[in-house]
Amino acid sequence: MNLRKIFQSIIALHQEEIPMSLYERALQLPINEQNIVTVTGVRRCGKSSLMGLTINRLLAAGVAKEQILYVAFDDERLSEMQVSDCDEILQAYREMYPDRPLKEVYMFFDEIQLVEGWELFVLRTFKSYCKNIYVTGSTAQMLSGEMSSALRGWPDEYRTFPLGFNEYLAFKQVHANRFTEDGAALLAHSFKEYIKEGGFPQAVLATGETQRTKILQTYFDTMLFRDMIEHYRIVAAPNVVRYFLKRVMNNLTKPTSVNSIYNDLKSQGLKVSKDSLYLWLDYACDIFLFHRVQKYSKSIVKQTSALSKYYVTDFSLAKSVLLPQSDDSGKALENAVYVHLATKLKRDEQIFYFNEESECDFVIVRQDTPDELIQVCWELTEENTPRETGGILTAAKCLGCRKAKIITCNQEQTIPGNNFDIEVLPAWKYML
């Protein structure tokens, strides 16, 4: 079968499947804005479903099925596709609907980063034929070097994550009144299940722990081999790359030393350069496996030279590939809080950590000014409360912040201070 016929088959089959039965997500993509809408995020977090929901809304608004052109580039029949082949998509559609001008079409290109050089094709199509184009990809590079240089400010950018707690409740069909005792208890229980199961939609809907673990391990393997080793042409043995990523996962929420991991690999006789490890870590962040949080400092030199902390895009992913941990609930909670903060992040906001005389987990910087301090602790006790509040108070004194929260599993109170109060909130309530 030639490429044009393959595209016609893909387009026709998708048209037969719509509208699709999908769970709603908190994020909605715009329609009829006459722009290139880009959606990025880790694999399997729901980017394709987000496109499907957008298509459903278009159909509800009166758009005909024949106006939907959808191509998923992770189809194995397109594995050898070059950017020079992309015109076959347009020709395939023209043959299918010769009386339908391309300007009336809504084009959806899923996982398009798999076609090297795709940017110029999309830009040319947008300028010459079609004003409503949606693209998804599993790499942050779509929003930086690759995309920005080619498209020069055209895209309307959106970043997706696995399910937030609200979305998880909807997927699980949990309905509870947070203001009643029974409702609060149910939400607290559901949150513990959420940080255990994670937010990948397919994994959330799995029928059991064994199936869920297999799904997550498959996701990790796909990220390892296809998104990292193949995409970035890593020549090192896959087992070395896998070990490196697992080492980073094992140190989540703590400052991570690449040099320490390098020495460990060296001691085992595994040959890899230190520069390669730094590149691999950058790649892992580019594909949204990890998220980097730098130490806050007024000095750019000190900020960039200090060790960074890393969070995984979903803690369930780390649990599925690491040996069982004796107690990872604290890490899971802090990771969940980070992801929640990242999903709410605005363009003028950044997340850092503070670590001078004591540590504060998160410093939220708004318009280049430290604005809010957040500490995460599974449970406040008489023993650890001075340490947790001390981190906030030290950071507040150094940074001039007066807004502070401690996020716990299920505690709520106000800790009074001299200049400001510290609000203690249960995570389930904080994330609703």
**Per-residue confidence of the chain (432 residues) as pLDDT tens digits?**
699 999 999 999 999 999 999 999 999 999 998 989 999 999 999 999 999 999 999 999 999 999 999 999 999 999 899 999 999 999 999 999 999 999 999 999 999 988 988 988 998 999 999 999 999 998 887 655 555 555 655 668 899 999 999 999 999 999 999 999 999 999 999 999 999 999 999 999 999 999 999 999 999 999 999 999 998 999 999 999 999 999 999 999 999 999 999 999 999 988 899 999 999 999 999 999 999 999 999 888 888 889 999 999 999 999 999 976 666 899 999 999 999 999 999 989 999 999 998 999 999 999 999 999 999 999 999 999 999 999 999 999 999 999 999 999 999 999 998 889 999 999 999 999
Pair 78, 112: CB distance under 8 Å: no
- What pTM did the predictor assign? 0.93
- The predicted pLDDT at position 357 comes to 84
The residue to which tokens 């903060």 are assigned: 341
The total number of residues written for the chain in this structure: 432
For domain 200-326, give the fold.
Answer: Arc Repressor Mutant, subunit A (1.10.10)
Q: Where are the domains of the chain?
A: 3-159, 200-326
Spatial separation of the C-alpha atoms in residues 306 and 300, rounded to whole Å? 10
Pair 280, 273: CB distance under 8 Å: no
Question: Among 389, 411, 393, which residue's Cα sits nearest to residue 402?
Answer: 393
- The predicted pLDDT at position 145 comes to 53
Pair 274, 262: CB distance under 8 Å: yes
DSSP per-residue string spanning 246-259: HHHHHTTTSEE-HH
Pair 110, 136: CB distance under 8 Å: yes
CATH class of the structural domain 3-159: alpha beta
> Angle between the 3-17 and 87-96 helix axes, to the nearest 10 degrees?
60
**Same fold flag, 3-159 and 200-326:** no
Q: Which two tokens stand for residue 214?
A: 């297999």
Question: Among 171, 176, 224, which residue's Cα sits nearest to residue 199?
Answer: 171
- The predicted pLDDT at position 139 comes to 85
